[in-house]
Chains A and B, each alone.
Chain A
């Protein structure tokens, strides 16, 4: 089981209390599709993804970003059992959506960049370390049911 220090628990709760998960989710997914363009292959039904502006203003990207970030919020509320709470999501991503799990890290990196941009100086190295650990646990849990 993952062990969280009091500082890490407080930091993760604090980040989620400060961010607009819908806005962060939309920005992170947009950035993922822009910075790592091969990820667009999973969203062929989303319409126009032909340029950074098209992606950033695409309503399906925004809606889906919100859904994805909702998943991260669920993890934040279940810090002591992310692995089990993500079991069904992991099966969904591997068996139905067939997402290459390497892409989870790429989206996680984009979430980090968006949160860093929003929090600025408040995203200190210690806060970053706690958030990075949280995202690594989420990514690992999403990967777990692949084999």
Chain B
């Protein structure tokens, strides 16, 4: 079981309470599709992803970004049992969506960059970054768990 210090729990819940899922979610998914273009292969039905501007303006990207970011709420509310809380999501990503789990890590990186850009270093301190990235690493691990 993952051990969280009080400082880490506090950092994660503080950051989460200040994150607007509707803002950061679309930004992070947009960023993923632009910075790591091979990830576009999972979104063949999303329409125009041909340029950075097209991706940034694509309404399906925006609404899906919000869905994905909203999924983190489950993890925030179940810090002591993320593995089990994500069991069904993991099965879905492996058996239905066939997402290469390396891509979870890339999206987590994009989320962290968006959070860093939004809050700046005085809020997103080194201590907060440690807690947040540990949190995302646990989420990524839980999502990859049911693959084999």
A119 touches B117 (CB 8 A): yes
B68 beta carbon closer than 8 Å to chain A:
no
Inter-chain CA distance A16–B127, complex, in Å, is: 26
B121 touches A56 (CB 8 A): no
Nearest-CB residue, chain A, relative to B55: A125
- Tell me if B's interface is mostly helix, strand, loop or mixed: helix
Could you give, for residues 32-43 of chain A, a 1 whenever the CB lies within 8 Å of some chain B CB and a 0 otherwise? 001100000000
Within 8 A of A (CB), among B104-147: 109, 112-114, 116-121, 124-127, 129-130, 133
Q: A-B pairs with CB below 8 Å: how many?
A: 65
Q: Number of contacting residues on B, CB 8 A?
A: 24
Nearest chain A CB to B65's CB is how many angstroms away? 12
Task: Pick the interface stretch among B29-37, B40-48, B78-86, B90-98.
Answer: B29-37
A34 touches B121 (CB 8 A): no
B35 touches A132 (CB 8 A): yes
Contacts of A128 in B (CB 8 A): 31, 34-35, 113
Name B117's contact: one of A31, A56, A121, A126 (CB within 8 Å).
Answer: A121
Contacts of B55 in A (CB 8 A): 125
A114 beta carbon closer than 8 Å to chain B:
yes
Contacts of A129 in B (CB 8 A): 34-35, 52
B89 beta carbon closer than 8 Å to chain A:
no
17 A-B residue pairings within 8 Å (CB atoms): A27-B121, A31-B129, A35-B126, A35-B130, A52-B125, A52-B126, A52-B130, A112-B113, A113-B124, A114-B116, A116-B114, A116-B117, A117-B121, A118-B120, A123-B113, A128-B34, A128-B35
Chain B residues at the A interface, C-beta cutoff of 8 Å? 30-31, 34-35, 52, 55-56, 109, 112-114, 116-121, 124-127, 129-130, 133
